[in-house]
Amino acid sequence: MKIGISSFVWVSPFNTNNIDILYKAKEYGYDLFEIAVEDAALIDLKKVKNVAREIGLELSVSGAFGPERDISSDNLAYRKIGLSYIKDCIRIANELESPVFGGPLYSAVGKTRLVSKEQKQLERQYCIENLFEATNYAQEMGVVLALEPLNRFETDMINTIEQALALINEIDHPHLKILLDTFHTNIEEKNVVNSILMLGDKLAHVQGNENDRGTPGTGHVNWIGIRDALVQIGYKGSIVLETFGSPSKELARAASIWRPLAESADILASEGATFFKKIFQQ
């Protein structure tokens, strides 16, 4: 199984001036570097791709969804911006040869409210209409969309694997699958292992994070069980460490990151790679 690390571990937003962290990722032993696209205009895709090829590092792409990128919003302009952003990221994934583009595609991170059943249904319909168009475009670009459930403190729309499956099954398209993040599932699932087994071939991508988003192996996530379940379903993708070393104010607020999660981003990345290699590659 390939192991990867997200740009979020070091910087937010990622830009071409941060390209040195690709070399760090390779040095620490990662097979893949995941670019969180907060602002595509900051990224020289050709340069990033050339560096990754030069050092033998694969690339994947994830998204960052603020209020103006919410495809389930009441605001039509925001829905249009959100769909356009998803399509831009699909094009970026295609250019960088990432097999997936993943994230909470359905809504804005930090959007948590108690709303009526009618409002929820309306937002779900907006979401489905836009996801359907995005998924067809992803198929054209040879990319799989990976929809990520978030915990209850970051979204009121899709918290569990069961909810995520219900949503993608409504669209029923081979280019729309699920991203499982072990941080969120640790909060929301009764049994993370069973959730992986439930997903089977609907699992497109894994972000492997400790229960506190700190260094993997220092908390209580059931890593052995997760590994064995991934092997059992024949998962061939990557497991990517995605935590936040220097979050922007907006990201810190959305993900409730109020304290350092490790002594330093470099130490977290290095120790994370050592742990992931021990669990997933031996």
Q: Are 168 and 134 in contact (CB under 8 A)?
A: no
The arithmetic mean of pLDDT across residues 12-32, rounded, is 97
Q: Are 11 and 38 in contact (CB under 8 A)?
A: no
What pLDDT score does 53 carry?
A: 98
Give pLDDT tens digits for 140-149. Answer: 999 999 999 9
> What are the φ and ψ backbone dihedral angles of 116, each rounded to 5 degrees?
-70, 160
What architecture (CATH level 2) is domain 2-280? Answer: Alpha-Beta Barrel (3.20)
The arithmetic mean of pLDDT across residues 157-176, rounded, is 98
Three-class secondary structure of residue 22 per DSSP: helix
What pLDDT score does 248 carry?
A: 66
Report the alpha-carbon distance of residue 49 to residue 179 in Å, rounded: 23
Phi-psi region of 189 (alpha: psi -120 to 50; beta: other; left: phi over 0): beta
Three-class secondary structure of residue 168 per DSSP: helix
> Chain-centre distance of CA 64, in angstroms?
9
Q: Look at residue 37 and tell me whether its pLDDT is greater than 70.
A: yes
Three-class secondary structure of residue 217 per DSSP: coil
Report the alpha-carbon distance of residue 19 to residue 35 in Å, rounded: 11
Give pLDDT tens digits for 57-73. Answer: 999 999 999 999 999 99
Q: Look at residue 282 and tell me whether its pLDDT is greater than 70.
A: yes
pLDDT-derived band at 253 (thresholds 50, 70, 90) equals confident
Q: Look at residue 258 and tell me whether its pLDDT is greater than 80.
A: no
> What are the φ and ψ backbone dihedral angles of 177, each rounded to 5 degrees?
-130, -160
**Domain ranges in the chain?**
2-280
Kindly state the tokens that stand for 4. 């990867």
The arithmetic mean of pLDDT across residues 30-59, rounded, is 98
The arithmetic mean of pLDDT across residues 142-166, rounded, is 98
> Chain-centre distance of CA 25, in angstroms?
18
Tell me the percentage of the chain whose pLDDT exceeds 70.
97
What pLDDT score does 256 carry?
A: 73
Of 182-191, 203-212, 260-269, where does mean pLDDT reach its minimum? 260-269
Is residue 123 within a helix (H) or strand (E), and if so which, with residue range? helix 117-141
The arithmetic mean of pLDDT across residues 210-227, rounded, is 96
- Between 192-199 and 161-171, two packed helices, what is the crossing angle to 10 degrees? 10
Handedness of CA 66, 69, 71, 75 (dihedral sign): positive
What pLDDT score does 262 carry?
A: 77
Q: Are 195 and 232 in contact (CB under 8 A)?
A: no
Q: Look at residue 246 and tell me whether its pLDDT is greater than 70.
A: no
What pLDDT score does 182 carry?
A: 98
| Peptide bond between residue 13 and the one before it cis (omega within 30 degrees of 0) | yes
Average pLDDT, the chain: 96
- Residues with catalytic annotation? 148, 242
Report the alpha-carbon distance of residue 5 to residue 197 in Å, rounded: 24
pLDDT-derived band at 186 (thresholds 50, 70, 90) equals very high
The arithmetic mean of pLDDT across residues 12-25, rounded, is 97
Of 87-96, 172-181, 188-197, 259-268, where does mean pLDDT reach its minimum? 259-268
